[in-house]
Structure 1
Amino acid sequence: MTLFLTILSGVAWTVVYADAIRVGFRDKSYAIPAAALWLNFAWEAIYAVRSVATGISVQGVFNIVWGLADVVIVYTFLRFGRSELPDWVTRRLFIGWTLLLGVTSFAVQLLFVAAFGWEEASRYAAFLQNLLMSGLFIAMFAARGGLRGQSLLIGVAKWIGTLAPTIVFGWYGNSPLILGVGALCSVFDLVYIALLWRATITRGQLRPMMGPGMGAK
């Protein structure tokens, strides 16, 4: 069961990243909230390298795949991210903010390793940044006023991809912290899915009412 849930989580998160790349280029935006994106990129870069150094496992294969996918998502952030910010944010400020996010994200991941060791750090950091991502997805939906740069597939796959390891490490692994944080992720994820579903249905109902040339974007 543990292996099945690990593979299920790996496939679900791979779907998240693949669709984030598709949606990012389609909408000329980035599909993972900035802070969560950089924390994920740092986590996956560090643990992908460790997977190569210590021996490839099932999780290690997914870490490498996710790390490569994150490179492309980071590219969409660098290419389109400044357009999501107010006009007073100059290119120089955007670059400075991006560097700060990147350096901070790698520092946080390494501090987790220093505090908890490789195994526990990988889990604690992953679930805490996952909870942050869940909240930031809702904030991103509100800030963008709808579905731009987002998709229902990302929301559902993210929920499944988090729920599976919550069961593995929280329930089977007897960790109240991971079980509790994972449960909170599900609450936020289901709220986000509901928002996306409602927006998708509303947009579908409005399309037949639009005249020629309307709703092209």
Structure 2
Amino acid sequence: MILFLTVVSGIAWTIVYIDAIRVGFRDRTNAIPAAALALNFAWEAIYASRSVATALSVQGVINIVWALADVVILYTFFRFGRAELPAWVTRKLFFGWALLLGVTAFAVQLLFVAEFGWDPAPRYAAFLQNLLMSGLFIAMFVSRGGSRGQSLLIAVAKWIGTLAPTLVFGWYANSMLILGVGALCSIFDLAYIGLMLRARTGRSGEAAAPGGTL
């Protein structure tokens, strides 16, 4: 069952990344919030590299696939992301902010390793940044005034991709912290799915023009 749930999570998050690439190029924007994207890429780059350096596992292969997909999503962020920021944010400010965000994301991931060790660190970091991402997706919907640069498929796949490891590391591994944070992720994810369904049925406003916040 644990292997099955790991594969389900891997497939679901891969769908998230593939559709984020599709939507990003279609709508000329980043489909994953900037802070969440930075943390995800740092997490995947660190643990994919460790997997290659030690012994490849199913999760290690999945991490490598995710890291490669994130490179393309990062391209959409650098190509289109500045348009989502206020006009006073110059190109230099945008890249400087992006660099600071990236360095911070790698530092946070390595601090988790320093504090908890290589085995627990990826679990704790992943669920906490996942909760952050869940909130940021809702904030993205609000700041853009609708579903521009987002999709219902991303919303549903993210929920499933988080729920599966919540069962693995929360329920089966008996971690109250992971189970609780995973449950909070589901609450936010279901709320976001509701917003996307609302947008899909035309009951929310049309997407706002670029110029909001990431």
- TM interval, shorter chain, is over 0.9
**Is 1:94 matched with 2:94?**
yes
Tell me, yes or no, if structure 1 residue 36 matches structure 2 residue 36.
yes
SS of 1:66's equivalent in the other structure is: helix
Superposed counterparts of 1:189-204, under 5 Å: 189-202=189-202
Q: Distance in 1 between matches of 2:178 and 2:55?
A: 25
- CA offset at residue 147 of structure 1? 1.0
* Paired position in structure 2 for 1:211: none
1:203 Cα offset (Å): 7.0
Q: Secondary structure at 1:148's aligned position in 2?
A: coil
Q: TM-score, normalised by structure 1?
A: 0.93
Superposed, 1:1-217 pairs within 5 Å as 1-202=1-202
Code of the residue aligned with 2:62 in structure 1: it is F
Give the superposition deviation at 1:40: 0.1
1:114 & 1:163 partners in 2: Cα distance? 27
Aligned residues: 205
For 2:11 and 2:119, locate their aligned partners in 1 and report how far apart those are by CA, in whole Å. 21
Distance in 2 separating the partners of 1:60 and 1:30: 26
For structure 2, the 5+ residue unaligned runs are 207-214
Tell me the residue number matched to 1:212: none
Structure 1 runs not aligned, ≥5 long: 207-217
Read off the aligned partner of 1:70 and give its amino acid letter.
D
CA distance in 2, matches of 1:182, 1:145: 27
For residues 108-149 of structure 1, the C-alpha deviation after alignment (integer angstroms, 9 at most, x for no partner) is 000000000011000000000000000000000000011110
Alpha-carbon shift at residue 202 of structure 1 (Å): 1.0
Which has the larger share of helix? 1
Instruction: Give the greater-gyration-radius structure (CA).
Output: 1
Partner of 1:202, secondary structure, is coil
What is the SS of the residue equivalent to 1:32?
A: coil
- Residues in 2 aligned to 1:203 and 1:53: alpha-carbon distance in whole angstroms: 50
What amino acid is the match of 1:31?
Answer: A
Q: Whole-Å Cα distance in 1 between the matches of residues 190 and 106 of structure 2?
A: 29
Measured in 2, the distance between the counterparts of 1:198 and 1:8 equals 27
Aligned structure 1 segments of 4 or more residues deviating by more than 4 angstroms: none
**TM-score, normalised with respect to structure 2:** 0.94
Identity rate, percent: 79
